Amino acid sequence: MGAMFFGQYLLSKGVIDREALIDGIERQRKTNLSLTVLAVRRGYLEEKQEEAILLRYRTSDVDLEELCLESGLLDRGQLDELLRIQRSDWMRIGAALVAGGHMTREEVVEQLAKFHDSQRDADQELEANFKSCRDPETVKTIVELAAFHVGRLSDRPIKLQSLGEDPGALEDGRRRYVQKLVGDREIFVVLDLPPAMAVAVGEGLIGIPLEEDSETAIDAVCECVNIIGGNACTRLEASGINLRPEPPFSTEGDEPAVEAGSSIRARVLAGDAEIDVRVFR
């Protein structure tokens, strides 16, 4: 069994049905509020100030807490208060399922122990796969940044499910978004996204409704890849690896599978969707 979310684990084991999982997720969405939403509700931020912070948040790899402080609009005391409120109100999926009458607390505790055992093995396998691939630091940096930004922009929980070598072919029904990094190495950073995920990422970046496969949506996801590539170059420079990004592009074909020598594919869970993050060498 690969890495998965607790709700998906319960569904796969037949402990709950899909309707129960959807109900639990909806309860979480209503309860689990971000720091900036809480700040607006407490009167610490105006909506325009919140949007300015979120604009920076969408295009950086800095935590929202740090950005709130950097903005100068919230002080440490206000932020600590908001964090206390957020922690006290935060609802995990197990609690949401109990609240909906789908499970008892005792059942959640029992299944959570089994889930942690299964995920411990999956996490160890993932770590071993990272270490065994060629240029593990570069691959791990790119995969983690890609998952991070896709999750941040789509507002979906993210979990790395599997990692391994792969021929690099694009799956049916997906579009490929690519950026080449050049310098000490030649690397292609690739996102393979189904249409709904591409729209979610694009809308998260530019903040307006988008149509699937529209030029604006494609350009927005390319910009997401550009952010990933730029962040990767900055992080890897600290390790003595000098890279620079070239302009990103999108394709419905398999390139750069032919041009590159090998491909590492990371399968990533994004809420109830699956995406691929690839590193071509």
143 Cβ contact partners less than 8 Å away, ≥ 6 residues apart: 160, 163, 264, 266, 277, 279
| 0.85 exceeded by pTM | yes
Q: Note the pLDDT of residue 69.
A: 94
Q: In this structure, are residues 179 and 191 in contact, taking their beta carbons and an 8 Å threshold?
A: no
4 Cβ contact partners less than 8 Å away, ≥ 6 residues apart: 12, 119, 122, 159, 161, 269
Q: Note the pLDDT of residue 193.
A: 97
Q: Note the pLDDT of residue 182.
A: 97
Pairing outcome for strands 158-165 and 175-183: unpaired
Q: Note the pLDDT of residue 197.
A: 96
**CATH code assigned to 134-280:** 3.40.1550.10
Q: Token pair of 199, please? A: 């729209």
End-to-end Cα, the chain, rounded Å: 29
Domains in the chain: boundaries? 134-280
| Closest CA relative to residue 275, chosen from 218, 209, 220, 200 | 200
- Angle (CA) 204 271 87, round 5°: 85
Q: Note the pLDDT of residue 97.
A: 97
Q: Token pair of 20, please? A: 């129960």
Q: Note the pLDDT of residue 257.
A: 79
The ranges of the chain with pLDDT < 70 are 1-2, 258, 260
